[in-house]
Amino acid sequence: MKISMIVNGQSHAIELTDEYTPLLWVIRDILGLKGTKFGCGKAACGACTLHVDGEAVRSCSYPVKFAEGKQITTIEGLGNAENPHPVQQAWIEEIVPQCGYCQPGFMMATAALLNKIPNPTDEDIDNNIINVCRCGTYYRMRKAIHKAADKQNAINEINEPTKA
């Protein structure tokens, strides 16, 4: 079977025999995008979080057949070194990562959260950012999430200034 999808703005048509292949394997092993990580394979840790049509999805638990015709964004497509996404920028400034393994999943989950709630409270963060970090960087992440929200709101304000 052939699955067509757009990953980080690029179209791909992928031949597969098993339509239940996790999207994570396709992203990492076929498309070679290694930023999205495998942690548990059981939809429990969030290391594999990416966006499907703008929604946070745990790609280890997402059969590739559901990606047909959809827009996928991975950490590589969120931003890059020259033009980082506000979440990536805040992560750098707060020096969040320790080993780094869980971080792409957290950043993708945060980017999805800020699209839904531009000014998340600590409670919103507790509810929505439930990935697992074995290094325990949660404290720095919380600071980075608030900072990312401020950065993103500032950018939005420049792009769409509220009419006085």
Partner 1 sequence: MAGFVLASIYKPIETAYTSTPVNEQENRQNTDVAFHKMMDVLTHPRCLNCHPSDNVPKQGEDSHPHHFDIARGESHKGFEATKCATCHQSENNPYSSAPGSPHWSLAPHSMRWQGLDRFEIAKSMMDTERNGGRSPEEIKKHLTEDDLVLWAWEPGTNIKGEPRELPPVSKKEFISAVEAWFESGHTIPSK
Q: Residues in the site for partner 1, rule: CB under 8 A?
A: 20, 22, 41-44, 49, 55-58, 60-63, 66, 109, 112-113, 115-117, 124, 126-130
Please answer whether residues 146 and 130 qualify as being in contact, where contact means their C-beta atoms are separated by less than 8 angstroms: no
Confirm or reject binding of residue 104 to ligand FES (CB under 6 A): no
5 binds, among ligand FES, partner 1, none (CB under 5 to 8 A by kind): none
Nearest in space to 144 (alpha carbons), one of 82, 95, 109 = 95
The Cα 138–Cα 144 span in angstroms is 10
CA dist 98 → 14, 41, 137 (Å): 35, 22, 7
Binding residues for ligand FES restricted to 127-156, rule: CB under 6 A: 133-135, 137
The Cα 41–Cα 56 span in angstroms is 16
Print the binding letters for residues 13-52 with ligand FES: x by CB under 6 A, - otherwise.
-------------------------xxxx-xxxxxx----
The Cα 101–Cα 134 span in angstroms is 9
User: In the complex, what is the shortest distance from the CB of residue 123 to ligand FES, in angstroms, rounded to a whole number?
Assistant: 22
User: In the complex, what is the shortest distance from the CB of residue 106 to partner 1, in angstroms, rounded to a whole number?
Assistant: 12
**Structure token pair of residue 135:** 């290094």
89 binds, among partner 1, ligand FES, none (CB under 5 to 8 A by kind): none
Residues that bind ligand FES (CB under 6 A): 38-41, 43-48, 58, 60, 97-103, 133-135, 137
